[in-house]
Amino acid sequence: MNINLITNINFWTAVLGFIGSVLLFFFGLPPKIDRDGHQHLILEGIDKGEKKKASMYIKLGNLGMFLIALSFLLQLIQVINQ
């Protein structure tokens, strides 16, 4: 197999794994954010901004998990092709 391709796969697995880890670290859903947008100080209110923020955190956290999984898949492909 071409050594350039192997080097590129190593580079991209490292980059994807790092980006995925950073996204997961920063955008894992913290317990302070209510996924449904409920405000705990006001009994019957729903904060749409908080709900939108929670949705963004969930999407970026899932993207981080996907990038980490993709980096593992690329490493597996590299090992199989050697």
Q: Band the pLDDT of 5: cuts 50, 70, 90.
A: low
What residue segments make up the domains of the chain, in order of their start? Answer: 3-81
Residue among 6, 15, 4 nearest 79 (CA)? 6
Is there a contact between 50 and 33 (Cβ–Cβ < 8 Å)?
yes
For residue 37, the one-letter residue type is G
Query: Is pLDDT of 2 > 60?
Result: yes
pLDDT value of residue 34: 65
CA distance 32 to 20: 22
CA gap 41, 61 in Å, rounded: 27
Q: Could you read off the pLDDT of 12-63 as tens digits, one per residue?
A: 888 889 998 998 888 875 666 666 766 666 556 777 887 888 888 888 988 9
